[in-house]
Amino acid sequence: DAGVTQSPTHLIKTRGQQVTLRCSPKSGHDTVSWYQQALGQGPQFIFQYYEEEERQRGNFPDRFSGHQFPNYSSELNVNALLLGDSALYLCASSPLANVLTFGAGSRLTVL
C-alpha cells in the first residue's frame, strides 16, 4: 500500500505565479484534506474534499482552490502567489472524519 503520495516534493516560484500541487490518497480513502504548515506553526486546515466536492474550508482566501477527481486524487491550486504562501503543504486522506494519513508534503518557496 503506497499510502498518501504528493508531488512535487519541492518547488520554487516567484510572486504572482500560480502553482498546482497533487495528492493521491491512500487506497480505500475517499476524503482528502489539505493543510498549510508555516514555519513554527501547526498545520492549518485549508479545505477538505469528499465526493469531488469541497465540503469544508478553512480561513484561506479564494486564491486557494482545489479539485478532487473520480479516483479520489486531489489538486491544490494557489494563484497570484505571495511571499507568505511559502510553506509546507500537507495532504491527508481518511475515511470521512477518521484518522488522517499524511503525505510527506510539498515544500513551496515563493521568491
Partner 1 sequence: ILNVEQSPQSLHVQEGDSTNFTCSFPSSNFYALHWYRWETAKSPEALFVMTLNGDEKKKGRISATLNTKEGYSYLYIKGSQPEDSATYLCAFIGGDNFNKFYFGSGTKLNVKP
| Binding residues vs partner 1 (CB under 8 A) | 3-4, 31, 33, 35, 40-45, 48, 55-56, 58-59, 90, 96-97, 99-105
CA distance 41 to 27: 29
Query: Residue 88 contacts by C-beta under 8 Å, 6 or more apart in sequence?
Result: 36, 37, 105, 106, 107, 108
Q: Give min distance, CB of 14 to partner 1, in A.
A: 27
Closest-CA residue to 103 (of 55, 28, 34, 57): 34
80/96 with CB nearer partner 1 = 96
Q: Give min distance, CB of 59 to partner 1, in A.
A: 8
40/84 with CB nearer partner 1 = 40
13/102 with CB nearer partner 1 = 102
